[in-house]
Chains A and B, each alone.
Chain A
Amino acid sequence: MPAREDGDPVERTRFRVAGTEARRADGVAKVTGAARFTVDLSVPGMAHAVMVRSTRAHARILGIEREAAERMPGVLAVLAGADLVAAGLHPYYGHVVLDHPALAVGSVRYHGEPVALVVAETKLQAAEAADLVEVRYEDLPAVIDADEALRPGAPILHHERGQRVGDEGMDQGEGALEGNVCAIARVQWGDVDAAFAKAHLVVEGEYRYPMLYGYAMEPYNALAFFDQGDLVVYSTAQHVYMVRRDLARMFDLPLARVRVSAPYVGGGYGTKSYTKIEGACAMAAHLTGRAVKLDLSVEEAMLTTRSDSSHIRCRSAFDRDGLLLAREFDIVLNSGAYTDNSPLVNSKTANRCFGPYRIPSLRVVSRSVFTNTVPASSLRGFGAPQGNIGGELQMDEAAEKLGIDPVELRLRNLAGPGEAILPGKRPLDADLREDLRCLVASLEWPGTGGVSVGFGVSASDAGAYPTSTAAVRIHADDSATLFTGSTELGQGSRTVLCQIVAEELGLSLERVAIVGGDTGVVPYERTTGASRTTTVTGRAVQEACRDARRRVRELAAQNEKVDVAAVEDAPAGVRVKDRERSYGEVIEGWFGAGGEVLGHGSVRRGEGFAQMPPFWEIGCSGVRLSVDRETGVARVEKLVTVGDVGFAINPALVHGQDLGAATMGMGAALREELVYEGEQLVNPNVVDYRVPRFSDQPPEIDLMLAERHDGAGPFGAKGAGEGAGNTIGSSVAAAIGRAIGVFPHELPATPERVWRLLRERDERARR
């Protein structure tokens, strides 16, 4: 079935609201300035906190001189990690390993780590006092590079490991964690060595994907206070329930007495997954007895979380016809000073690096490594772009060596729909060969006249652990409110989830409201990440609607004194005794006056989601680009993405995810990189760390959709949001390689790097 702009017209007419480009539920709020983000919130009597950050990469803290700061006007407290311990609080957080202190305890492990917190009446007062806090250090040897951190004798960051707290959903990897190894993941089958021995062609190489800063435009910030002993925190968190668990642990509070709320969030992309500054902010509230606001600058956000960079050594074995015989990957991730989400990033890198191909023998070892750098955690598609740069680029390199067209080479090796690409996992729920054909047709492969083409495919084990719940209230006037723990980060979840409710209940969108992202109000949702909301949360929402409808049928049966089997669903109510009754009629008939019906839905690892992953997130994108041989500047002329999403419940929102992800991918491929020189970041600001702007937009963009209703989500939908970016790095590298005759193995392919490759190639030719 070919990909189409607008899906199957017959399929589409089955629905009233699903499949339409309904306007965003948050539209008016966001264009009028009325949308409230955490940074916009204040409460009466609120104090402000500013962090004091480490000026050392690795050191013991000998003492913190705070008297000068404490004497400054407006200062309420100067807090250090030791105070948290003295107050009986647990300063460490982490959803996999409890090793990340809210404020450094005893030692610092990276330049820029929070060491103390100054709380004052105004932010200016806190900032001025923070400058007066003197920290005395005893320097320890530091290690910045991950390969060096693995060498014997390297400085060790964590002599004692934090307690492991990850549950089944937190794939922590395996193996002995010695030295600076944070996590190890292995994937292995077949006889790899024998396969390499008999190969017709072996391609081998080293590849690097950079450390990135996600730059969500609203920097991390939080507002915390205690209300009759209950902890209330507003924050920029993507996963409010994960943060709730961390805070409950830090304060020894029952989950019920911690409330975490994320109003509108100014960009997430994974960078706001899991706990960041909420613990420090809440501890300040606890120790001062005040409501405390802690809002970071962009520079500080860059010192809070980055992505894991990768160094890949890999080789691929092919037979004469270009069929893969074996692949082997040895991957090292630079994961920074604390565990955070790196074990998951690492296991995803291991699962995602080799691609959705039929591979008879495979051996992957990926190690996440502690270094004295900013802690790494999630960023859009994590693991996939980091691994793809090796896996996909070797397909292109092999094609060239074998004299086989790289499209054809992939078509020969790609797994088909229903085939397993990882043993024991969900069979592939996508038609990658067809996607690839659509992609290269739009890219006008093989390219002509100074324009070269690069493309790639990937399949990511997405969706995370499928635990979701939702509640729907049907009101007596035939309107409904959805309650979901999913967070609106801009991806449009509120819109899509409302569309699902409207579709299921037969209501117009105007009659559906949504309340989201507040653990004090909405039912449990594991995370808002891994492109899961439409698929996994969407199913819980569907279940909640069906449960509400079931309740309405029961009430109608009692009203009419008939057996419940005699009541049927009508488009927006029920049909009983040959008459249609609206929800409102049934509800008011039953209560006598007022009333409502509540439906609850839950999804777990079972039923449609028994097999992991909940869906395969497909990456299928590519570029046409040109390279200026004088300057080394690569310019993307056309971007093409194929959004293989099963069914686009809102096509405009899917396009937004695809173009957004691809644009981030192009930034990483061509320009973005956090650079350490010595023990410090040299570009910790958005002047030197340049993200894509209007002028970087490709002149031509083609965003296609492939809708085959093959997803496990509502109406056959699957997630979007990461895929298009996952394959951009290798696509750009491949296109540059075809333009200049040598494939860049290190991203970003900056003008300097491209120019250097050109020069090296010319020198080789001259010799």
Chain B
Amino acid sequence: MRQISLRLNGVARTVEIEDQVLLVELVRSLGLTGTKVSCDTEVCGACTVLLDGRPVSACTTLALEADGRSVLTIEGLAKANQLHPLQQAFIDNFAFQCGFCTPGMILAAKALLDERPSPTAEEVRRWMEGNICRCTGYQSIVDAVLDAAGRRP
């Protein structure tokens, strides 16, 4: 058992964990089940969260690595019931169906837009290559990210 401190969705938290606990297990055990596990081997991106603003696969990241850092999960994105522009763009562009890939997609896209506020479609595709969606065929996701880029405050 070890104690770690992190900022989780903007809130300072101290938690006791076993060394081998994965970041995805930690956040899900804290009730943040928006972060999904699919491949469990860093292939699909469903478990993407932002660690100090950078996307990581929480299924292969130890919770220990979050010590002293900030973690953003999908639950932390909307501010006071106000959807983030990416979330609104995903809704407006029908950029999901089952929604299982969506939290990871949106967070991966957020990291991109934070780094490159107006990416091209090609840049979006390249950046998102590590995120799989089995439902949509991807075009609507690219559209949503570009749409969000255009409407960022």
A-contacting residues, B49-64, CB 8 Å = none
- Residues of chain A within 8 A (CB-CB) of B119 are none
Q: How many residues on B have C-beta within 8 angstroms of the other chain's C-beta atoms?
A: 52
Q: Contacting A30 at CB < 8 Å: which of B44, B96, B134, B142?
A: B96
Tell me the bound Cα distance from A694 to B73 in angstroms: 23
- Give the docked Cα–Cα distance between A30 and B87 (Å): 9
Question: Which partner residue on chain A sits nearest B94 by CB separation?
Answer: A652
Report the nearest A residue to B74, measured CB to CB. A33
Least CB separation from B133: chain A residue: A217
B43 within 8 A of A: yes
* A23 and B91 within 8 A (CB): yes
Q: Is the CB of B39 within 8 A of A298?
A: yes
Query: Which A residues between 444 and 472 are near B, CB-CB below 8 angstroms?
Result: none
**Max count, chain B CB within 10 A of own CB: residue among A219, A490, A653:** A490
CA distance A694 to B101 in the complex (A): 13
State the CA gap A26–B99 with chains docked (Å).
9
Complex CA gap A34/B102 in Å reads 11
Inter-chain CA distance A268–B33, complex, in Å, is 20
Is there contact, CB below 8 Å, between A265 and B91? no
Asked whether A660 lies within 8 Å of B97 as measured between CB atoms, the reply is yes
Q: Which of A309-317, A683-691, A759-767 contacts B (4 or more CB under 8 A)?
A: A683-691
Q: Is A547 part of the contact surface with B, judged by Cβ < 8 Å?
A: no
Instruction: Check A215/B134 contact, CB under 8 A, given A33-B33, A298-B38, A694-B128.
Output: yes
The answer, yes or no, to whether B32 is at the interface (CB within 8 Å) is yes
Q: Are B32 and A490 in contact (CB under 8 A)?
A: no
Taking the closest CB of chain B, its distance from the CB of A10, in whole angstroms, is 26
Q: Which residues of B sit under 8 angstroms from A268, Cβ to Cβ?
A: 98
Who on chain A is nearest to B76 by CB?
Answer: A33
Contact A217 B134 (CB under 8 A): yes
A33 and B35 in contact (CB under 8 A), knowing A215-B134, A216-B134, A217-B101?
A: yes
Contact call A217/B98, Cβ cutoff below 8 A: yes
Among candidates A33, A659, A687, residue contacting B75 with C-beta atoms closer than 8 Å: A33
Complex CA distance for A31 and B128, rounded to whole angstroms: 17
* Residue interface bits B113-153, CB-to-A below 8 A is 1, else 0: 00000000000111011011111111111100000000000
B41–A267 CB distance below 8 A: no
Which residue among B33, B78, B87, B137 has the maximum number of chain A CB atoms within 10 Å of its CB?
B137
- Which residue of chain B is the closest to A40 with respect to CB atoms? B33
CB distance from A678 to the nearest CB of B (A): 24
CB-nearest residue of chain B relative to A301?
B38
| Inter-subunit contact B125/A32 (CB<8 Å) | no
Chain B residues with Cβ under 8 A from A269's Cβ? 134
Decide yes or no whether A28 CB sits under 8 A from chain B. yes
Given A266-B100, A660-B137, A697-B137: A653 in contact with B94 (beta carbons within 8 A)? yes
Does A35 belong to the interface (CB within 8 Å)? yes
Closest A-chain residue to B141, C-beta based?
A: A694
State how many angstroms separate the Cβ of B133 from the closest Cβ of chain A: 8
A554 on the B face (CB < 8 A): no
Write 7 A-B pairs (CB below 8 A) sorted by A numbering. A23-B91, A29-B99, A217-B98, A662-B137, A686-B39, A686-B43, A697-B125
Q: With contacts A266-B36, A694-B138, A697-B125 known, what are 14 further pairs, Cβ within 8 A?
A: A21-B94, A27-B90, A31-B74, A31-B91, A31-B99, A32-B77, A33-B33, A216-B98, A218-B36, A264-B99, A490-B97, A653-B94, A663-B138, A697-B139
